[in-house]
Structure 1
């Protein structure tokens, strides 16, 4: 008796070249939709400044975080691609991001 087919018989098939996307170039800093907002959600009532929309690698985010922490004089972290600064640092973050070449917008109140 012959063996029944399985997923192995489709292993030799590949995607046609026309369906594959070429690797995209990173978006320039001035064109990224960077949002800066003050929030308390999930932080035990403590105010945190959240910066989202930065399209960069983990090492670049950490370098930017270091600059922001120095400018604000406060602590911070990177969680799930979002930079968080301790306290209400919206104005400081907006200014530091503009200096770094981004076009940030304040989101929320």
Structure 2
């Protein structure tokens, strides 16, 4: 889509209000492994476990993230195609992901 097409799109109508564009959800295919990594960079020293490479759509990621948060007893969120779980609960997360049918690979330290 060229920039001229973007400028000519309808964004507001007095009859309907704000017009939102439908976005296609693109899911990156999985290689068969859930990559579990501990990160502290940019988080003021707080540890966060990130889980990527699942190959799930956004709705499935959110349900899996809420299940993991309940099992771990901590907070977390879904950012892009990555689940972030607060704290260092790698063993619990590995067991739950294997129960859900994923192969788990620890990345980093």
Q: 1:22-101 counterparts in 2 under 5 A?
A: 32-101=32-101
Q: What SS class does the counterpart of residue 34 from structure 1 fall into?
A: strand
Output the CA distance in 2 between the equivalents of 1:94 and 1:48.
15
Output the CA distance in 2 between the equivalents of 1:103 and 1:83.
16
Residue 100 of structure 2 corresponds to residue 104 of structure 1: no
* TM-score normalized with structure 1 length: 0.70
Q: Name which one, 1 or 2, has greater alpha-carbon Rg.
A: 1
* TM-score normalized with structure 2 length: 0.70
Q: Note the C-alpha offset of 1:41.
A: 1.3
Q: Note the C-alpha offset of 1:35.
A: 0.5
Runs of 5+ in structure 2 lacking a partner? 1-27
More strand by share: 2
Runs of 5+ in structure 1 lacking a partner? 1-25
Q: Note the C-alpha offset of 1:63.
A: 0.5
Output the CA distance in 1 between the equivalents of 2:36 and 2:51.
5
